[in-house]
Amino acid sequence: MKRLLTSLLCAAFAVSASAALLPAGTQELGLSGGVDFDTAAGTQIDLDIFYGFFVEDSLQLGAKIGLYNDDDVTAWTIGPRMEYNFDIGIELSPYVAGSLMFATADGPEGYGDKSALIMGMEGGFKYFITEYFAISSALVLELATDDMYPSDGDSKNHDLRLEFGVRTFF
């Protein structure tokens, strides 16, 4: 009886652990970012929406669209994105990603209107709640060809942030 119970538990764990595998042909739709209600420039919204297609097991190619908005600056980004997921045999799947985006921003008189290319890199993890739904967290670094990122009344050409999101797979 003890052996049967142990076998059943192992089988159940093995079935749930396979949910982290992302085979070729899987599609992903994701939403990530954050909202800060109390900044020097009012409410800040930073959202990214992306779509990807797994061309090989664990390797995804896709596109990303982003919006940044506060009371002073509004910025849009768009571009291709590539992601590699590591299957470690449990519901937690670490990943690394890279993107190359075109960005445009409109700001106050001192900031002006700007356009830039942005190279983005991120490393994080997805935690699969079910086989088709995951929550995610990532450390994101972006480097721009112009000073696009508002910072204490000025602007800078890089940004480092922690993002949280949700992912669905079909």
Delineate the domains of the chain, giving CATH numbers in brackets.
2-169 (2.40.160.20)
**Per-residue pLDDT averaged across 121-148, rounded?**
94
Q: How far apart are CA 141 and CA 30, in angstroms?
A: 18
Q: What are phi and psi of 11, to 5 degrees?
A: -65, -40
Rounded (10°) CA dihedral 127, 46, 81, 16 = 10
Could you tell me which residues are beta bridge partners of residue 107?
none
**Per-residue pLDDT averaged across 128-144, rounded?**
94
Q: How far apart are CA 41 and CA 123, in angstroms?
A: 28
In this prediction the pTM is 0.79
Note the pLDDT of residue 60: 96
